[in-house]
Structure 1
């Protein structure tokens, strides 16, 4: 959320949907997961994927094609 606010404030980039923020969060979580060691890596990756998949399902509900 903080990064999205900074982009909107300082780079004048408009946030079109809240989904942008969630996908940005997932991308940073997955990146951060790659820097971790131990058994927490799998849990972090699974959590990021759950958030991503849940958001994709919400997007489908909000914008049926």
Structure 2
């Protein structure tokens, strides 16, 4: 999904590949790569813990992407003003693309937005 947002034609298979991929797919955004990667990894970890320990169900990977987007947007507040706006725009783009894959039969109230606890 991230590759789709940035228009990349391939996806990395390891952290080493991620850094090369991120530099090629998102030139000039080096200071944002770690925040994006951390948001995605944290969302995967939190989702995994919810499934394992709270017996919650992840209905779609889109839920994890929306959670990652929420983390990135939340963490953007910790950045300088120009960087904050760029991170917020990236988080919003990630969420928008994810929601465009949201199943059509989902209830209208279920927009895929995840709130931070």
Superposed pair shares fold, TM > 0.5: yes
Q: What residue in structure 1 maps to residue 55 of structure 2? A: 12
TM-superposed deviation, 1:57: 1.4
- Counterpart mapping for 1:45-56 below 5 A: 45-56=88-99
Match 2:70 to one of 24, 27, 39: 27
TM-score by length of 1: 0.81
Pairwise CA RMSD = 1.7
Q: How far is the alpha carbon of 1:14 from its aligned partner?
A: 1.3
**Alignment TM-score, normalising by the size of structure 2:** 0.48
> What corresponds to 1:37 in structure 2?
80
Q: Which runs of 5+ in 1 are unaligned?
A: none
Would you identify which runs of 4 or more consecutive aligned residues in structure 1 move more than 3 Å?
none
Query: How far does residue 63 in structure 1 lie from its aligned partner after superposition?
Result: 2.8
- 1:40-64 deviation per Cα after TM superposition (whole angstroms, max 9, x unaligned): 11110110011011112122xx436
Q: Deviations over 1:3-61 (max 9, x none)?
A: 100111111111111111111111111111112224211110110011011112122xx
